[in-house]
Amino acid sequence: MTTPHATGKQIAKGAAWLMGFKLLDKSIGLISTLVLVRLLTPSDFGLVAMAMAVVSLLELMGAFGFDSALIQRQDTERSHFDTAWTFNVFFGAGIAVFLVVMAIPAANFYREPRLELMLPALAIGALVGGFENIGTVAFRKELNFRMEFTYLLAKRCVVFVVVLVLAFTLRSFWALIFATIVGKVMNVLISYALHPYRPQFSLAARGDLFNFSKWLFISNLIQFLNSRSTDFILGRTVGSHGLGVYNLAAEISAMPSTELIAPLNRAVYPAYAQLARARDKLLARFMEVYGLISLMAFPVAVGLFCLSDLVVALLLGPQWTDAVPIMQILGLCGLVGALQGNMYVVMSAMGKPKANTLLGASLLVITLPALVFFSLQYGALGAAYAQFVSAVVGFCGIVWVFTAVTGAATRNLFAVMWRPLVASCFMAATILSAQYVLTAFNWNVFLVVRLLGLVLLGAVSYALFVFALWWLAGRPASAEKVLLKFLSSKFLANRHAH
């Protein structure tokens, strides 16, 4: 399969498509969540999180990152795709068997007998999901982001409709379980409808795939322990209610920062892979992307920190009040994750998954003990603080490793981060001052109006501050300059159109 050379315009177009999908995806997800929190309880969410933690643990047996291997390798043949699909089928069947076998042990571990039926039900989805068409990986490999957008959005819309219908009908955790199963079935059907590739059983290219993917497997194992260990620990120590509150807070806090950045990382990975042998060009492209990430991630994470109480009160309701402080801390974790995620993408594209893996393993030595200790002492909020400390330590580690592997200068990273950081602090001061005035004068403003007004105030103040700092810094070539050029071109185009 041929891979076209990625230009800056193609990367920007791809990022736009995938960020457009992510905005739609998160909008759909937000609507779904807002409906579900009114129909289901925190305990329902926590119970499903327990089940999905077991599913995710078993899915590690197939977490070899074959998608990344197919994209990273520039000379893939049909045998590579067929081999990846064959292993996915085998792994799906294996996961299904283990879900049935582990149902009773998992129920005993969590002290939740309902898991005895939930896990065998989820085994159906695991078995079917293994047959998903591997050909859809070519959408990203060939930079066909329009089809990638269509594929991802179609899958999301199907799950959205199914989960809402079932939630209104069943009004229990079974709505989420059945929606997961139906979603897997529909994902398989959609994948074959949108891509003409028809995989065949083959193991011919197993050596080539595993040579790259073995480090991705270990990295995914470490990533799982970092991200999902809270489900096991909190599920055991604070029960389904506390776990449900924590997971919903984590989901919402990730929306503004990490989830906006994820599609950008997804879009630039093929381009980074093509530039892996031209390090100077790769680093130049990375700095462009990193500046854009900083420009977006800082204000949304800081803004959520300032407005979490209003967000919970308006969107979730009083039964979720405990989520406010957790959401604030995890929102900052999301910011740190957004700032380091693209570095991992660069090193993976350079064929250095080993560095990512060793760094993740080192961080895990700190994360797990901190998570166990703080969650036992302070519950779900303690787990959030443990995650934040680990995230900061991990960021320092990834910067050190990234600069050593790529030769990038740390001062260049700081040069693109300091203006969004300072401007976000000014924005926070503006929002908090406005909230103080509203409270001091006892102005009774509808909650939705108050929240939207503060969001608008924060956005305007951030834009003014960040561009003022950019101007005072001598208007360097940066994300701010690229953004201004883009906006001015759109403005002129609109004027000519009229």
Most confident of 34-38, 72-76, 263-267, 308-312: 308-312
Whether residue 120 has pLDDT greater than 90: yes
**What is the average pLDDT across 60-75?**
67
Whether residue 4 has pLDDT greater than 60: no
Whether residue 50 has pLDDT greater than 50: yes
Whether residue 8 has pLDDT greater than 60: no
Q: Is the pTM of this model over 0.85?
A: no
pLDDT single digits (tens) 398-413? 898 888 888 888 888 8
Cα separation of the two ends of the chain: 44
Q: How many CB atoms lie within 10 A of CB 496?
A: 7
Q: How many CB atoms lie within 10 A of CB 101?
A: 14
As a residue count, the chain comes to 498
Which candidate, 149, 94, 144, 451, places its Cα nearest to that of 304?
451
- Report residue 240 as tokens: 């389904």
Whether residue 33 has pLDDT greater than 50: yes
Q: How many CB atoms lie within 10 A of CB 197?
A: 17
Q: What is the mean pLDDT of the chain?
A: 82
Whether residue 143 has pLDDT greater than 80: no
pLDDT single digits (tens) 203-255? 887 777 766 666 666 666 777 776 677 788 888 877 888 888 888 888 888 76
CA atoms within 13 A on the CB side of 141: 21
Q: What pLDDT shows up at residue 421?
A: 95
Ramachandran area for residue 222 (φ above 0: left; ψ -120 to 50: alpha; else beta): alpha
pLDDT single digits (tens) 442-478? 766 678 888 999 999 999 999 999 999 999 988 888 8
Contact 15, 267 (CB under 8 A): yes
Percent of the chain's residues with pLDDT above 90 = 23
**What sign does the dihedral 218-224-226-230 (CA atoms) show?**
negative
- Report residue 245 as tokens: 């509150």
Q: What pLDDT shows up at residue 2?
A: 47
Q: Return all residues near 128 (Cβ < 8 A) that are at least 6 apart.
A: 92, 181, 184, 185, 188
Whether residue 485 has pLDDT greater than 70: yes
Distance CA 155, CA 187 (A): 6
Whether residue 277 has pLDDT greater than 60: yes
Tell me how far the alpha carbon of residue 416 is from its chain's centroid.
22
**What is the average pLDDT across 313-333?**
87
- C-alpha distances out from residue 164 to 52, 171, 242, 284, Å: 19, 10, 24, 45
